[in-house]
């Protein structure tokens, strides 16, 4: 039954993403932009101004992606540039997360969004699970994490969580195996982990994990958890 619910949720998430793209093209007001305007306290910002800001920032940082960064160089970039804040807003502005919502059972609980960026998952589900609290993990002091903390008010202080997410994260850390151990240690038995591991063949992003680490981490997660559902590289697993 859970697999069917996850499959249906994924279809609805895809449908909502398509609808959002359509209404954006016809000029319908976008909630993500209004939220960013509130955060920056720039009430006169137009959508076109946001896109100009994003494009200029992308041009500015593009030379950095043409060389292989060390972990320390990547951390410095994340802490000092607001590009990842803008990029996360752009790439997640149409996303929906019924897939995660399906696994958030009960009126209360705790969700861990590891490598949260601007916390798109927590931001989407929090209105639908008012009794739940949310733990965010990312680079402290970075512009994107400051934005995530601003938008998520119901913060969790629990050492263990009912649901955890590692979505579009593992390829960006230098030791993905260590990260998975850390997250699984904070997940309750019977809790659900949403995870993927994207291979960036174009090498136009800050991918720090090697192909060997990629393969080893995926193999470990398949062994350590019970796979509940998988579609297009997006996996939902249950902790034994």
Q: Do 87 and 51 contact (CB within 8 A), yes or no?
A: no
pLDDT band at 207 (very low <50, low <70, confident <90, very high): confident
d(CA 205, CA 58): 12
Average pLDDT over residues 138-167: 95
Residue 201: the pLDDT is 59
141: left (phi over 0), alpha (psi -120 to 50) or beta: left
The secondary structure of 1-34 as a DSSP string is -HHHHHHHHHHHHHHHHHHHHHHHHTT---HHHH
d(CA 31, CA 23): 12
C-alpha pair distances (Å), 190 with each of 24, 79, 151, 161, 238? 39, 35, 29, 10, 6
Residue 108: the pLDDT is 96
Q: Do 131 and 110 contact (CB within 8 A), yes or no?
A: no
Mention the CATH class of domain 1-240. alpha beta
Domains of the chain, by residue range, sit at: 1-240
36 pairs with which residues across the strands? none
Residue 67: the pLDDT is 73
d(CA 11, CA 33): 25
Higher pLDDT: 211 or 103? It is 103
d(CA 231, CA 220): 19
Task: Reply yes or no on whether the pLDDT at 209 is more than 80.
Answer: yes
238 pairs with which residues across the strands? 192, 226
Residues 6 or more apart whose Cβ sits within 8 Å of residue 186: 112, 159, 160, 161, 164
d(CA 60, CA 95): 26
pTM for the full predicted model = 0.94
C-alpha pair distances (Å), 199 with each of 71, 88, 235? 18, 18, 15
pLDDT, tens digit, 9 for 90 and up, residues 72-99: 999 999 999 999 999 999 999 999 999 9
Other beta carbons less than 10 A from residue 17's beta carbon? 14
């Amino acid at each position: 039954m859970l697999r069917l619910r996850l499959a249906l949720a994924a279809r609805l998430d895809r449908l909502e993403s398509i609808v959002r793209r359509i209404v954006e093209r016809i000029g319908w007001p976008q909630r993500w932009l209004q939220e960013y305007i509130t955060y920056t306290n720039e009430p006169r910002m137009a959508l076109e101004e946001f896109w100009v800001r994003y494009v200029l920032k992308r041009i500015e940082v593009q030379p950095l992606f043409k060389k292989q960064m060390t972990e320390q160089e990547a951390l410095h970039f994340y802490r000092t540039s607001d590009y990842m804040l803008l990029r996360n807003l752009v790439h997640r502005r149409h996303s929906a997360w019924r897939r995660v919502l399906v696994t958030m059972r009960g009126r209360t609980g705790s969700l861990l969004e590891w490598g949260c960026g601007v916390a798109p998952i927590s931001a989407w589900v929090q209105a639908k699970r008012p009794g739940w609290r949310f733990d965010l993990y990312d680079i402290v002091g970075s512009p994107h994490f400051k934005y995530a903390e601003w938008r998520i008010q119901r913060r969790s202080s629990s050492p263990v969580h009912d649901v955890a997410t590692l979505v579009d994260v593992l390829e960006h850390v230098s030791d993905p195996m260590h990260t998975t151990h850390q997250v699984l240690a904070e997940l309750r038995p019977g809790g659900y982990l949403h995870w993927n591991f994207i291979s960036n063949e174009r090498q136009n992003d800050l991918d720090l994990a090697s192909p060997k680490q990629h393969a080893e981490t995926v193999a470990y997660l398949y062994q350590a958890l019970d796979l509940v559902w998988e579609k297009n590289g997006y996996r939902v697993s249950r902790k034994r």
